[in-house]
Amino acid sequence: MVRTAAVCLIAAFALCARVNAQVQIRPAGSPGRYTGFDLLYRGKVVAPVRFSSRSGPGNQPLITAKKLSVERRRGVTLAFGGLTPHPACGLRLDPADFIRVSLSHAETFPRIQFRLTIRRFDEKAWQASVGKCPFHFLTLSLPQAEVWHQRGWLNATPLSDPFPLLIDPHAGSPEIAAKYSRNWSYTPPLGAQPIPVIGLWAPKKRLYVGFEFQSTRLLDNSEKDIATGYCWKQGALDGQFVALVYPYGGVGYQDLVFPKAGSQIASSCTLLFDANMPADRDPNQMVWAYVWQRYRRLLPTAPANNDLSWVPGGARLRDFEGPPGPELVATAGRGDPFVLEGTKTVSGWYKHKESVVDALAAQQNPAALARLAADLRYVLGKVKRVRFPEGYACFWEKPLEGSWNSAFGGKPVTTLHNTDAWYIGRVLVDLYRHRNVPHIASMLKDLGLTPERLLELVNGVLIWTKHFTFTRNEFADVPSSPFAIGGTLSASFCLDYYFTFRNHPKYAKSAVQALQLARTVTYRYLTMWMSDSNRADGLDSSFLWEPNSGRDWCGAACANEVHWNLDTLAMVAVHTGDPILIHALRGTLERWPQLYKERFRASIAKYEHDAMTEGFGLYEGNVYGGVGARASYGTASALPMLEPVGNSRVRVLCGLKSALAFDRGEGATKLLDYRCRFSNGPYPSLAFTVDTMHPAPFDLSLTFPFGDLRSAPVRIKRGGMWLQLSEGAGLRRPPQARWSLYISGLRSGDRVFVGQPEVLRKSSVGSTTPPLMHGFAVPSVHPFQILRLAPASPARRDWEDTESWAGLWEGLHFRYGVPYLIRTSRGGPLAGAGQIKISPPVVGPAVLYVAYGYLPSGSVPVVGAVGPRGRTTLKPEAAQTALAWRAWPPPFKARLLLAPVHIPAGSRADSISFPGGLVFAATALSGSSKNLPLIRTVNRNLTKANADWVRLLDETRQDEALRRRMRPLPLQKIAVLPPGLGGGPLALMLGRAGIADEATRLSPEQLVSPDVFNPAKFPVALFLPDGEEYIRTVRSEGDAADALVRYVSEGGLLVVCASGPYPMFYHRRDGALVSEPLMPRLGMPLAVSFEQPPAGERLTVVADAGRRMFPDMPDRVPFPPGDPRLRAFSRGLAPADAEYIPICRVVGSSGRDYGDAAGLLLLPAKNGRRGGVLYVWFGLWRDARLQKSLAQGIFNMIEERLSAQ
């Protein structure tokens, strides 16, 4: 049934009412001039959706619809056509464009489909009539919203906190506001968003509304280039709303960018709402529940177990971590870049684990107790109270006193909506639990903390946890934004409260609520990519995390402090048994190795603690340089709840509802028949059977978060025999870690009992495996067809073997638009070798996409087919062969290639031959006429990606040539200066060519010893770290800086190519960064040419006289993209007795010379040696031609110096 014209306005409501008695959709506007539609729930409008804002001349809608048809097929659809922009706004759409909203019979949430084709867009007319705002459509308003929900983050609206959007200066570059208007947020594309959703939440009204695109991402990925934004005010009538925006806001997502004629915006989304969402619930949790229920089988696979051998050697756990120190308050010193000297904040980070109060209760430590008491006395005087219906909430502001500096916001930064203060709450919970321990009781009495007062405070913190909604300023550098680690201290407090009060006669119900809140806040900060956000590129963003909502981290994954989230995610997962959280944890741990920096070390064990990156670009427009770019700064962290400790091969994390095993090595450990019961005793009772591939005997480390295992009996049942373990006899109880045990001498099949086995008889079986494992099921990826390969056997996957396939994950991969399936067995990813059968055979015309392992010999798989002239062989298209996956970090050599093989009409492909190689997957696509556009799109993607693969091959050949060239030289005479090699291109070349392994890495102590570090022993010294820091002092003030000056003056060549704008600019004094540049003392003072290039200035890098030392240096190249912070040398500042050779300079289209970006300073000869400093600005390495030339020139200099020895 289809109705048109004026009757639709009346008929639509009636039709919808009959479809769903509680949820209705109805058109808004008037016949011939529809402005959008309303979603009603129980007769009330909960989501007014409009085609655009009312910001045209005279406050008119920017887009209206002339036509409306109402379709009733298995529900109701409102189809709006004749989309008509306001004539003054400079926009013209295609007559066939549409917006449809459908509500099916059994559905609660409507589905919106749209297509807008930009036939004309006049930027001047738009800005003259509409103002400085992006092209936006499909607005959704909620005047009472306290937060907007974007990318999975909850950002405060000005209604609840004006600072993030309207005030935040952030040193002249606000983090979440647009550059063109303080009323608009940034506008990132949905492809750059971990959770692709844009919504508004009014907890006091218990109402949430939002556009959900995760379902679209899983179905067709059509949403990825559409952006989203929040607007506080637009025009005279429109208050706060969220909207879809096109295109996204450029690099950093904050610029005003307009659509081009010919652009088509076509996708779909679900209109989610919840009319009963108070502050103790969460939008992320709702989105996950919706997707999990309806699209679970389309989500990426999580593994059954994790091998954590990828943890960097410098971050590995030698033993269980103990409790933190007693400090509750931190005071900022002089020179802090963000806050004023003397500013006080809660000292809580990385204290979500073992309890300092537990430790102090167990063993007296007068000094620590005194510090804790002093800090408690101070914070008790700073407590803030907020009244809610159930009582007063208690919390603490950040900062406790003092202020941020004016560049980062000053006094307006101060907020009660911080995360740090949950740590105070946790300490108070623990003090209540140990209130009867004599020395704790004495301290509490001195502080006036009676049991009643403690209960008032801890329950006040719990009330705040129910109502806080949003946080910001977890770290001082981004005071506008929430951080993922907001979910660590908050969840830890909730779990601690639960285990303290779960049997309390009055507060047991509050304890249950606290456990639920632990789950809620974990979802609130679960800013993890739910699935791959771009099927057409060459990487997969699934399971990676954003660290905060700021612009500088948008569209990119981060390691850093997000490691801490994995601890609390795991703790909440095992105590609640939540299948989604277990899925998220397992998947995250599998994909985390992608976050290694582009830094070369010979093995995982040799990577330092700071081996991981702060930014891994996952979508275009991120600030790190694009898709696949990695920041040279960042760090790793320990995984104290997850990694096998010491020599143990297995770590078991146990909880009330689940237990999870984690391996070191390919043990593929499973836990069978897990049971747990924790009633009124001092410790939990639990049991599980270990099923593993680890050879016997092996050690196992076990942790039960918030459970005291110090006195719990431990027994092993092996066969029919019981083995009682005791300290030193198969068991170690670490004194610093009361939650943990270390069990030795286990075998596969052993059943481990902790506590009292008899109480487990009535307990239920807990979950131990991820709920979402597709196994060998072949997914539907129409019109593609996933093929089976036989025979197939496991490929080696070993993090200690850089030749292995470590890190290749199971499941469906999309690369360049092509799906293929990696199957695994317990022994690793399955691959065919030699002669491989294809099932079913592929009948031409078709394209067969083959995913196979790269061989250095250049051999490729050959497809066997039967055609009209008999049997024939078909080869992959070399010009469309692309890198589908590479083992990471850089020393790992495995490469998975994806190549098309064209099957002619009349041919039937039934086999693949690849002697000496491995074929992991094959996918077919029929060559029918309807698939030709898709084939052409994939061909373009593969051809573009092939250029990157060719560059990587060329790099490999250059590395081999460099290895052969440098091998005869005394490479041990090259000094690598502390802090060591970073991730810059030159450092990577040294690693790949094996030079780094032969060079001598000096320690700080060796650096300051003239007998060790001098030009006679080391003619060349390399300063190639990440960042801008150097070591200035080791034994006496400035001795390391003096050593470098002496080295150059005595004839050494110092090569300065750090991965930071100004090398040797900062050093650390008492843990704080101090700016004291060393380059001026070396004869090369660098100037800050600019932070950003002047507006309108086109920059060029121009070769100079020194180019003769650098083969094939181009005359001119455009200024390299990426971080533009130029630090250049002015040749007039060279010492009078030195020879200065300029290599290349930066000039602008205005004719201005911005200085030398590379130069060589040579000092007068001393003892027959001529010392010098070679400086290369880090941005030059981003240009491929400059990189090749600079590297060749530097290695020429190194060869010349070493050959002269």
- Each residue's pLDDT tens digit, 812-869: 999 999 999 999 988 889 999 999 999 999 999 999 999 999 999 999 999 999 999 8
Residues 6+ apart with CB under 8 A from 81: 65, 66, 67, 68, 69, 96, 97, 98
132 phi and psi, to 5 degrees?
-80, 90
State how far the Cα of 129 lies from the Cα of 122, in Å rounded to an integer: 11
DSSP 8-state class, residue 501: H
pLDDT reading at 16 higher than 90: no
CB atoms within 10 A of CB 158: 17
For residues 1169-1186, average pLDDT? 94
344 neighbors 402 (Cβ within 8 angstroms): yes
Query: What Å distances lie between residue 687 and 677, 728, 764, CA to CA?
Result: 9, 21, 11
Q: What angle do CA 540, 899, 621 make, to 5 degrees?
A: 35
Give the DSSP H or E segment for 1025: none
Tokens of residue 845, six digits? 């015309």
* Residue 962 identity: L
798 neighbors 812 (Cβ within 8 angstroms): no
Give the pLDDT confidence of 232-291 residue by residue, as tens digits.
Answer: 999 878 889 999 999 999 999 999 999 999 999 999 999 999 999 999 999 999 999 999
Lowest mean pLDDT among 45-49, 159-163, 293-297: 293-297
Domain boundaries, the chain: 2-298, 306-617, 650-766, 784-953, 967-1203
CB atoms within 10 A of CB 440: 21
- What are the residues facing 346 on neighbouring strands? 329
pLDDT computed for residue 1204 by the predictor? 83
575 neighbors 585 (Cβ within 8 angstroms): no
Query: What Å distances lie between residue 973 and 529, 880, 1042, 1171, CA to CA?
Result: 47, 44, 21, 16
CATH topology of domain 967-1203: Rossmann fold (3.40.50)
Helix intervals (H) in 819-931: none
Please choose, from the candidates 382, 408, 410, the residue with its C-alpha nearest in 3D space to the C-alpha of residue 397: 382
Pick the more confident residue, 1060 or 770: 1060
pLDDT band at 4 (very low <50, low <70, confident <90, very high): very low
Residues 6+ apart with CB under 8 A from 600: 889, 890, 891, 981, 987, 988, 990, 991, 992, 996
pLDDT reading at 771 higher than 80: no
pLDDT band at 983 (very low <50, low <70, confident <90, very high): confident
Give the DSSP H or E segment for 261: none
Per DSSP bridges, beta strands 824-825 and 882-886 are unpaired
State how far the Cα of 424 lies from the Cα of 442, in Å rounded to an integer: 19
For 791, counting Cβ atoms within 10 Å of its Cβ (0-12 exposed, 13-18 middle, 19+ buried), the class is exposed
pLDDT reading at 10 higher than 90: no
662 neighbors 641 (Cβ within 8 angstroms): no
Ramachandran class of 778: left when φ > 0, alpha when ψ lies in -120 to 50, beta otherwise: beta
Tokens of residue 1047, six digits? 């080295």
pLDDT computed for residue 11 by the predictor? 40
State how far the Cα of 1173 lies from the Cα of 1192, in Å rounded to an integer: 17
- Identify which of 94-103, 626-635, 757-766, 1026-1035 has the greatest average pLDDT: 94-103
Please choose, from the candidates 495, 459, 296, 294, the residue with its C-alpha nearest in 3D space to the C-alpha of residue 385: 459
For residues 925-940, average pLDDT? 97
pLDDT computed for residue 471 by the predictor? 98
State how far the Cα of 193 lies from the Cα of 211, in Å rounded to an integer: 13
State how far the Cα of 1190 lies from the Cα of 1117, in Å rounded to an integer: 14
Q: What rounded mean pLDDT belongs to the chain? A: 94
pLDDT computed for residue 778 by the predictor? 67
DSSP 8-state class, residue 1120: P
pLDDT band at 408 (very low <50, low <70, confident <90, very high): very high
Q: Residue 827 half-sphere exposure, CB side, CA atoms within 13 Å?
A: 7
pLDDT above 90 covers a percentage of the chain that reads 88
Residues 6+ apart with CB under 8 A from 654: 574, 674, 676, 684, 686, 688, 702, 703, 704, 707, 754
Give the pLDDT confidence of 133-170 residue by residue, as tens digits.
Answer: 999 999 999 999 999 999 999 999 999 999 999 999 99
3-state secondary structure of 169: coil
Tokens of residue 1051, six digits? 């004839």
pLDDT computed for residue 762 by the predictor? 63
State how far the Cα of 164 lies from the Cα of 149, in Å rounded to an integer: 14
pLDDT computed for residue 8 by the predictor? 41
Give the pLDDT confidence of 182-234 residue by residue, as tens digits.
Answer: 999 999 999 999 999 999 999 999 999 999 999 999 999 999 999 999 999 99
Give the pLDDT confidence of 514-573 residue by residue, as tens digits.
Answer: 999 999 999 999 999 999 999 999 999 999 999 999 999 999 999 999 999 999 999 999
475 neighbors 446 (Cβ within 8 angstroms): no
State how far the Cα of 1078 lies from the Cα of 1044, in Å rounded to an integer: 9
pLDDT computed for residue 679 by the predictor? 86
* Residue 35 identity: T
> CATH number of the domain at 2-298, please?
2.70.98
915 neighbors 834 (Cβ within 8 angstroms): yes
pLDDT computed for residue 698 by the predictor? 98
Tokens of residue 806, six digits? 């470590």
pLDDT above 70 covers a percentage of the chain that reads 97
90 neighbors 120 (Cβ within 8 angstroms): yes
650-766 has CATH 1.20.120 classification? no
pLDDT band at 21 (very low <50, low <70, confident <90, very high): confident
Please choose, from the candidates 991, 992, 994, 1078, the residue with its C-alpha nearest in 3D space to the C-alpha of residue 1029: 1078
pLDDT band at 769 (very low <50, low <70, confident <90, very high): low
Query: Residues 327-349, buried b or exposed e (16+ Cβ, 10 A)?
Result: bbbbbbeeebebbeeebbbbbbb
Q: Residue 72 half-sphere exposure, CB side, CA atoms within 13 Å?
A: 16
* Residue 780 identity: S
995 neighbors 968 (Cβ within 8 angstroms): no
DSSP string, 692-732: --SPSSEEEEEE-TT---TT--EEEEETTEEEEEEETBEEE
Q: What angle do CA 526, 527, 529 make, to 5 degrees?
A: 115
Please choose, from the candidates 329, 331, 336, the residue with its C-alpha nearest in 3D space to the C-alpha of residue 1072: 336
Residues 6+ apart with CB under 8 A from 1056: 1023, 1063, 1064, 1079, 1173, 1174, 1175, 1176
For 1122, counting Cβ atoms within 10 Å of its Cβ (0-12 exposed, 13-18 middle, 19+ buried), the class is middle
